């Protein structure tokens, strides 16, 4: 499971977790893979980096659950 899928899984469980556990899980994921989008930029793939970041942010943007991932996917077409 990549970092994006792990973040999505944690957010799916967010209501069942206390705040400390939620923060701990997010911190663990961030500590393991903070550089994936940066690595894509370094590889000359900035559009893919932006798309990955947009997908990772989507769970935190309740008003944009359809538009942000659609835009991210459109970037990759």
What would the pLDDT profile of 23-70 be if each residue is shown by its tens digit? 788 777 766 666 778 778 888 989 998 888 888 888 878 899 999 999
pLDDT value of position 30: 67
- In this structure, are residues 54 and 69 in contact, taking their beta carbons and an 8 Å threshold? yes
| More confident: 76 or 3 | 76
- Helices 67-75 & 46-57 angle (0-180, nearest 10): 160
Residues in the chain: 77
Q: Is the pLDDT of residue 74 over 90?
A: yes
- In this structure, are residues 37 and 53 in contact, taking their beta carbons and an 8 Å threshold? yes
Q: Is the pLDDT of residue 17 over 80?
A: yes
Determine the Cα–Cα distance for residues 9 and 13; give it in Å rounded to an integer.
7
Look at residues 24, 25, 32 and name the one whose alpha carbon lies nearest to residue 2. Answer: 32
């Amino acid at each position: 499971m990549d970092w994006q899928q792990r973040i999505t899984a944690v957010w799916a469980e967010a209501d069942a977790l206390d705040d400390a556990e939620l923060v701990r899980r997010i911190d663990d994921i961030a500590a393991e893979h903070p550089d994936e989008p940066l690595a894509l930029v370094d590889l000359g793939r900035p559009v893919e980096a932006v798309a990955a970041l947009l997908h990772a942010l989507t769970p935190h943007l309740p008003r944009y659950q359809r538009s942000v991932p659609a835009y991210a996917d459109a970037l990759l077409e």
